[in-house]
Structure 1
Amino acid sequence: MPATGRENHTAPKAVYIHIPFCTNKCFYCDFNSYVLKDQPVMDYLRALDREMELTVRETPPGEIKTIFVGGGTPTVLNPQEMEFFLNSVKKNFPNWAEDIEFTMEANPGTTDRDKLAVMKAGGVNRVSFGVQAFQNELLSGIGRIHNTDDVYRSLENARNAGLDNLSIDLMFGLPNQTVEMLDYSVSKALELGLTHYSIYSLKVEENTLFHTLFQKNQLPLPSEEDELKMYQLLMDRMQAAGYKQYEISNFAKPGFESRHNMTYWRNEDYYGLGAGAHGYVNRRRHMNIKGVNPYVEAAMQKLPRLEQFSVPEAEAMEDFVMVGLRMLDGIRSADFAAQFGVSLEETFGRELHKMLSSGLLEEHEDRGGYRLTGKGVVFGNEVFAEFIGVLT
């Protein structure tokens, strides 16, 4: 009899940890982050250590395959704080896979040699730098504190520390950005010869400076037509340079895809630790308390949950399809059946047929499933929307 749902539960193999501090708040950022000045950093790191301890007591870890430290800007920690933090991770999650992927996000303005050496010694083997653009006027216009010189210096420092699995983030659709400016940034990025690039379009989120300006019609964004040209350009340039587009916004040399992010896109379990962090374990989602001091206070006593809830099977099925189709290899019918004990085609037959007929999806015969077509990649949101609320 086939297993349904997640009755054959295994311990999560992925860990997300949130460091909420940054040097300043970027104009587009709605992440749970706080300017570093006067923050109780060591109190936070001790509370984080306590949350890890309580978490592994409740759900013991197996072999950890990926760890991702995000923020905020984790690299605002000084070398002593960084060492304490990394020792804490290793103490609470001691069983690492031999080929573990341990990623830390970094700001090019906050990565000196001493800090990178501590990161390397503590097990970090992949660094993702938030570069965003290679024009200083664009960087200052979005509230970034670094300049292009910082980018080159930080990458050199990382390589000198023995860190060579490096990624950078770029953004398009920025205020006052032209197609030509993005082309220049992509050229400069490709000259670096890195293993991985994430390239995102700007989303104007609530509770940001950009949202306030947008509401006042004071945010000079590119036209929709130009934004589409930007996306097509970056896809063409990346492919021509030998990078595989393995997800809507992510490009990698073969074998250097972000395995941690693929945990999310495959709807698999992961621990979520730190202020405002989200976790997904045994089909239960949680979100932690967001504020630094309230988080610290709560975590010293119990798991610092703001909310937690079970995900109904129907919602988990929709998530599997919507998130999984972000990957250009798409979703496998066998994986859906293994996770839910029912047929993908029987569950979403009408929606799949409609997307196939419209040329936005195609059957992936090698993998026995479905993936976005070239047209579907460009209009991915239309595909994902087709599966929202179908079963719920």
Structure 2
Amino acid sequence: MLRLPYRSYLYSYPHKTAYREFPSPLPLRELWASEPAESFFLYMHIPFCGARCGFCNLFTLPDKRANVHEQYVDALERQARQWGPVTSHKPYARFAIGGGTPTLLPARQLKRLFDIAVKDMKVDLQQVSISVETSPETITKEKLAILRDHRVDRVSMGIQSFVAEESAAIFRPQDPAEVYRALDKLTKNRFPILNLDLIYGLPGQTEDTWMYSLQEALRFDPEEIFLYPLYTREHTIVKPDDIRQHGEDQRLAYYTLARDYLIGRGYVQSSMRRFAKAGTTSMKQLLDYSCQEEGMVGLGCGARSYTRHVHYASRYGVSRQATASIIADYVAADDYSTADYGFVLGPDEQKRRFILKALLHREGLRLADYHQRFGSLPADDYPELNLPLLSGMAYEKDGTMYLSDEGLSCSDAIGDWLISAEVRERMEGFVLA
């Protein structure tokens, strides 16, 4: 059985720690002119939050100053004015604002993000699925009205735990009363999709407190729930010794308990982490957009952009000093027309990405789709893919390779296992500031 210590997971491939400076800057106009995706995904990154949680290694900076937020949105608007003519020649199917905490921004700056999307990036808010991340302490009537007026159809809120002691143990300043207040406001606004995030394996957590948090979340009838194991990573406040009480088998037990509970209440599992009510979707008539996430336009410092052949971003840091420095460089820039940091995907990495992005989701890896793109079959290119088939962690049906229930529970190990030697060497050689 494949197993991996709970320290990381791949939500994209290649991993951001495999990115390096390009030998020479790449003109974005050329990158996007040749991008074959039929529709694009616009992502805006707001790298500010109220406080850094103990498990977080995302590109975020605890900073509540309104003037800092305004200067950042000014820079994002400059970037959008340069990128719009380059990336808006095809329609956008999705638009997401993440972070950090986008709703930490003052209401005026939050509204500007939508104005920038429409005016500079040519996003049709009537036609795209729009997702915004938030946090309990930033929910206000005025900000929810902005989201509703701009046709946001998915709001995602990280709660992690309804138990105050567990939140405190991961250095998350969160009052349960404030969580309930925020959830009441969200449910009264009736966004089509409410997503709630919870974490298992927290210091001091037991099966009873874990299920308590899950049951409290279900009281608000969310359309989606994401379940994350607690990871420790370089530069996170929570360290491996803080979570020693939860061994791998116990974490798996927490996951299995919650999975079975949610499925028993009508939720459908689409990945190791995502559970959604059957039929959950945007109410809009949406353009098709591949789960491969090619054609992702990442605006803002810390956002990643994906074309089929090149992934690029600003530099990555976690410490306050490194993050503040990278943001300062972004805000001071005048020219955003080239990519100078990222990863160029050759044929092997494109194949691995295709397999990972498909196989780790319930939809599975369609062999005909792979063959159409690459002219071969996955098992011919990577004979090791027969191992999960032989071990019962995957199965093949009607020309599609799926992970079994056991395979889904081991998604992180499978993702890690499929990393190429080159990408792994780069990841291991990355020095995180």
Q: What is the TM-score of this pair, normalised by structure 2?
A: 0.81
1:32 equivalent in alignment to 2:59:
yes
Structure 2 counterpart of 1:181? 209
SS of residue matched to 2:228: strand
Deviations 1:309-340 (A, max 9, x none): 42111111011112321102211112212332
SS of residue matched to 1:40: helix
**Structure 1: which 5+ runs fail to align?**
1-5
Tell me how far 1:390 sits from its aligned partner.
Answer: 7.7
State which drifts further: 64-73 or 338-347: 338-347
Structure 2 counterpart of 1:287? 313
Structure 2 counterpart of 1:194? 222
**Structure 2: which 5+ runs fail to align?**
1-32, 317-325, 424-433
Aligned length: 378
Q: Does structure 1 conserve the Cα–Cα contact (< 8 Å) formed by 2:271 and 2:408?
A: no
- 1:56 aligned to which of 84, 109, 117: 84
Would the alpha carbon gap of residues 341 and 297 (structure 1) be closer, same or farther in structure 2, given more than 3 Å must change?
farther
Alignment of 1:199-218 (within 5 A): 199-211=227-239, 214=240, 217-218=241-242
Structure 1 counterpart of 2:139? 111
Amino acid in the other structure paired with 1:272: G
Structure 2 counterpart of 1:375? 406
SS of residue matched to 1:62: coil
Q: Does structure 2 conserve the Cα–Cα contact (< 8 Å) formed by 1:330 and 1:371?
A: yes
Tell me how far 1:162 sits from its aligned partner.
Answer: 4.3
Q: Does structure 2 conserve the Cα–Cα contact (< 8 Å) formed by 1:62 and 1:95?
A: no
1:360 equivalent in alignment to 2:360:
no
Would the alpha carbon gap of residues 54 and 195 (structure 1) be closer, same or farther in structure 2, given more than 3 Å must change?
same
Deviations 1:279-329 (A, max 9, x none): 10232100124522111112x322474503421111110111123211022
Deviations 1:163-210 (A, max 9, x none): 242110000111111122111111111222110011100110111111
Tell me how far 1:265 sits from its aligned partner.
Answer: 4.5
Structure 2 counterpart of 1:22? 49
SS of residue matched to 2:270: strand
State which drifts further: 175-184 or 117-126: 117-126
State which drifts further: 100-109 or 304-313: 304-313
Deviations 1:40-68 (A, max 9, x none): 11111011112122222223342211111
Specify which structure has the bigger relative contact order, considering alpha-carbon pairs within 8 angstroms and separated by 6 or more residues. 2
Tell me how far 1:12 sits from its aligned partner.
Answer: 4.3
Amino acid in the other structure paired with 1:293: A
Structure 1 counterpart of 2:261? 237
Would the alpha carbon gap of residues 342 and 7 (structure 1) be closer, same or farther in structure 2, given more than 3 Å must change?
farther
SS of residue matched to 2:238: helix
Q: Does structure 1 conserve the Cα–Cα contact (< 8 Å) formed by 2:107 and 2:142?
A: yes
Structure 1 counterpart of 2:13? none
Structure 2 counterpart of 1:142? 170
Tell me how far 1:77 sits from its aligned partner.
Answer: 0.8
SS of residue matched to 2:298: strand
1:70 equivalent in alignment to 2:76:
no
What fraction of aligned residue pairs are identical, expressed as a percent?
27
State which drifts further: 250-259 or 188-197: 250-259
Tell me how far 1:125 sits from its aligned partner.
Answer: 2.0
Q: Does structure 1 conserve the Cα–Cα contact (< 8 Å) formed by 2:309 and 2:345?
A: yes
Deviations 1:61-87 (A, max 9, x none): 422111111111111011111112221
Alignment of 1:329-344 (within 5 A): 329-344=363-378
Would the alpha carbon gap of residues 389 and 84 (structure 1) be closer, same or farther in structure 2, given more than 3 Å must change?
closer
Q: Does structure 1 conserve the Cα–Cα contact (< 8 Å) formed by 2:40 and 2:295?
A: yes
Task: Supply the distance in 1 between the matched residues of 2:245 and 2:80 (Cα, whole angstroms).
Answer: 42
Task: Supply the distance in 1 between the matched residues of 2:204 and 2:244 (Cα, whole angstroms).
Answer: 6
Tell me how far 1:386 sits from its aligned partner.
Answer: 4.2
Q: What is the TM-score of this pair, normalised by structure 1?
A: 0.89
